Amino acid sequence: MKLVRHGEAGRERPGLIDAAGVLRDLSGVIPDVTGATLAPATLERLAALDSQTLPAVDGSPRLGPCVGQVGKFLCIGLNYSDHAAETGASVPPEPVLFTKATSAIIGPNDTVRIPRGSTKTDWEVELGIVIGTAAKYVSEDEAPQHIAGYCLINDVSERAYQLERHGTWDKGKGCDTFGPVGPWLVTADEVGDPTALAMWLAVNGRRFQDGSTATMVYKPAFLVSYLSQFMTLHPGDLISTGTPPGVGMGQKPPVYLKAGDVMTLGIEKLGEQRQQVVAD
């Protein structure tokens, strides 16, 4: 099942994509796609609906972030062996954890704004995990039952802020618009194995990232278990799981985003995004 949120920013309505690719409105069934509506019983109820009885949405409305009211936006760094190699870093002995501000979250095709003073704004196509039920001190075997589904995330990053301004990575990761999420929240049963998904990202039509979740070091179930040892993961929380090689920082010479650029990206089964880049 593919769940979406459609409409103008801040006033999105819940929906789903039916088997024919038609956007159907869910407003008469649930108030929104948030942590409160991602419990297994609710997902089962939605899956049992006859989608043909739901109103079709006319035109091509804006798609918002596929999950609303996100409590935590957690991210894992250097989680692809080939990406670690391109940055000259070694694979860490434990997952590298940082956070993105939830105010960075935008829709999958919304405009990305380069912050004032930025010189090294970069891209990262990533697999996102959406938590469905609270997870605290869960084992790796238990972790999948706490995952509602997966989504596509662009972990936009300002490398100078992240690596040259001292302190943690967060200041280069959480700028406004640095978290496009969606287009869909695809439920775990429809995704199947999340560790064998092709993923890619292009800038102005030139493909820079062309990888697979198969080179992910710490897999989704492990990450959910690992993070749950430090904090309770709540329904609707997002975990962005790292990126394959091909980021701008890894090019020789490095390539960074500028106003007028267009990013397109996708992950197998999870849809595609497109963002125009402008100066803030």
CA angle at residue 64 from 186 to 173, to 5 degrees? 90
pLDDT (0 to 100) of residue 91: 81
Q: Are 243 and 190 found together in one domain?
A: yes
- Find how far residue 244's CA is from the centre of its chain: 14
Q: Are 179 and 113 found together in one domain?
A: yes
Of 259, 90, 255, 104, the C-alpha closest to 170 is: 104
* 269: in domain: yes
pLDDT in tens, 34-47: 999 999 999 999 99
Angstrom distance (rounded) from CA 122 to CA 102: 19
* 65: in domain: no
pLDDT at 72 over 80: yes
Q: Are 192 and 231 found together in one domain?
A: yes
pLDDT (0 to 100) of residue 71: 98
pLDDT in tens, 224-274: 999 999 999 999 999 999 999 999 999 999 999 999 999 999 999 999 999
Average pLDDT in the 65-78 region? 97
Angstrom distance (rounded) from CA 95 to CA 119: 28
| Residue 226, CA distances (Å) to 139, 166, 235 in order | 8, 26, 17
* 60: in domain: no
* 98: in domain: yes
Angstrom distance (rounded) from CA 276 to CA 204: 10
* 61: in domain: no
* 66: in domain: no
Q: Which two tokens stand for residue 155?
A: 């972990």
- Quickly list H helices, 36-146: 40-47, 81-86
Q: Are 36 and 103 found together in one domain?
A: no
Q: Are 22 and 141 found together in one domain?
A: no
Number of domains into which the chain is organized = 2
Q: Are 129 and 29 found together in one domain?
A: no
Average pLDDT in the 41-70 region? 97
pLDDT (0 to 100) of residue 88: 75
pLDDT at 83 over 90: no
Q: Are 127 and 28 found together in one domain?
A: no
pLDDT (0 to 100) of residue 261: 98
Structural domain boundaries enclosing 8? 2-53
pLDDT-based confidence at residue 32 (cuts at 50, 70, 90): very high
* 175: in domain: yes
- Find how far residue 273's CA is from the centre of its chain: 10
Q: Are 102 and 220 found together in one domain?
A: yes
Q: Are 131 and 10 found together in one domain?
A: no
* 62: in domain: no
Q: Are 112 and 209 found together in one domain?
A: yes
User: Average per-residue pLDDT in the chain?
Assistant: 96
Q: What is the pTM (predicted TM-score) of this model?
A: 0.97
pLDDT (0 to 100) of residue 124: 98
pLDDT (0 to 100) of residue 89: 73
pLDDT (0 to 100) of residue 82: 76
Q: Are 92 and 167 found together in one domain?
A: yes
CATH number at residue 169: 3.90.850.10
pLDDT in tens, 116-146: 999 999 999 999 999 999 999 999 999 999 9
pLDDT (0 to 100) of residue 92: 87
Q: Are 253 and 205 found together in one domain?
A: yes
